[in-house]
C-alpha cells in the first residue's frame, strides 16, 4: 500500500458547503502563497491570465508525483496555448523546493502551509479530516473560474481533461 492509499484513498471530492466552492463563472478567491523559492505568488500575478491552479494532497506521494510529472511534460503545450500551471499543496516551501528539484518540475509549487490549508479551504477543496488538499483543478481566465475538474484522492486526474479545457477557451 503506498502513501496515498494509507492516507485514505477511498475519500472522494465532496463539496460539503456549495456556498464556499468557487463555481464556474465565479471570481477567483484572493490568495498569496510562497512558491518553492519563497517568492510570493498572488492572485494579482495570475488571476487575469489563463492558468491552471492544481490542488494536490502531498509532495513525494506516488499519485501526486505521477500527476505533476505528467503536467511537467504537458507544460510546453499548455504554455504555447497561453496557460500557466500552479500547483498548490499544504507542504512547506522547503519541502516543495526539494521535491521540485528532485522531480524536475519547472512550474510554481505553492505552499498552502500556514495558515494550514487556507487557500484550499477558500477553493472548497480541503480535507479537514486528513489535513490535506483534495485533488481538484481550476482553470482561471479573466479573474474567474472557467472550468473545474477533480478526481478521488487516490486517482490521478486525466491529462486529457487539461487539454480539453484549454481547447474550450476562446482565443
Give the predicted TM-score (pTM) of the model.
0.85
The C-alpha cell of 169 is what? Answer: 477557451
Tell me what pLDDT residue 147 has. Answer: 85
Let me know if residue 13 belongs to a domain: no
pLDDT at 171: 67
Would you say residue 84 lies in a domain? yes
Burial of 90 (C-beta count, 10 Å sphere; 0-12/13-18/19+)? buried
CA 117 to chain centre: 12
Inside any domain, residue 150? yes
Residue 47 counted as domain residue: yes
Q: Per the structure, how many domains does the chain have?
A: 1
Query: From the CB of residue 158, how many other CB atoms can be counted at a distance below 10 Å?
Result: 13
Where the chain has pLDDT below 50, the residues are 1-21
Cis bond upstream, residue 48 (ω within 30):
no
CATH number of the domain that 117 lies in? 3.40.30.10
Q: Does any domain span residue 27?
A: yes
Catalytic residues: 64
Q: From residue 171, give the alpha-carbon distance in Å to each of 11, 141, 168.
A: 37, 11, 9
- Residue 47 confidence (pLDDT): 60
Query: Is residue 5 situated within a structural domain?
Result: no
Q: Quote the domain boundaries for residue 81.
A: 22-168
Amino acid at each position: 500500500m503506498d502513501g496515498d492509499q494509507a492516507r485514505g484513498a477511498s475519500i472522494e471530492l465532496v463539496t460539503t458547503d456549495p456556498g464556499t466552492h468557487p463555481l464556474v463563472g465565479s471570481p477567483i478567491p484572493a490568495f498569496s502563497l510562497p512558491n518553492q523559492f519563497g517568492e510570493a505568488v498572488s492572485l494579482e500575478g495570475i488571476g487575469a491570465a489563463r492558468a491552471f491552479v492544481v490542488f494536490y494532497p502531498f509532495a513525494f506521494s506516488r499519485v501526486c508525483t505521477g500527476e505533476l510529472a505528467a503536467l511537467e511534460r504537458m507544460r510546453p503545450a499548455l504554455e504555447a496555448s497561453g496557460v500557466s500551471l500552479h500547483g498548490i499543496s499544504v507542504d512547506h516551501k522547503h519541502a516543495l523546493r526539494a521535491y521540485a528539484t528532485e522531480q524536475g518540475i519547472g512550474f510554481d509549487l505553492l505552499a498552502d502551509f500556514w495558515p494550514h490549508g487556507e487557500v484550499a479551504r477558500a477553493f472548497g477543496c480541503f480535507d479537514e479530516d486528513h489535513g490535506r488538499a483534495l485533488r481538484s483543478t481550476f482553470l482561471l481566465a479573466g479573474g474567474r473560474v472557467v472550468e473545474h475538474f477533480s478526481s478521488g484522492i487516490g486517482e490521478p486526474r486525466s491529462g486529457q481533461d487539461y487539454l480539453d479545457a484549454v481547447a474550450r477557451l476562446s482565443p
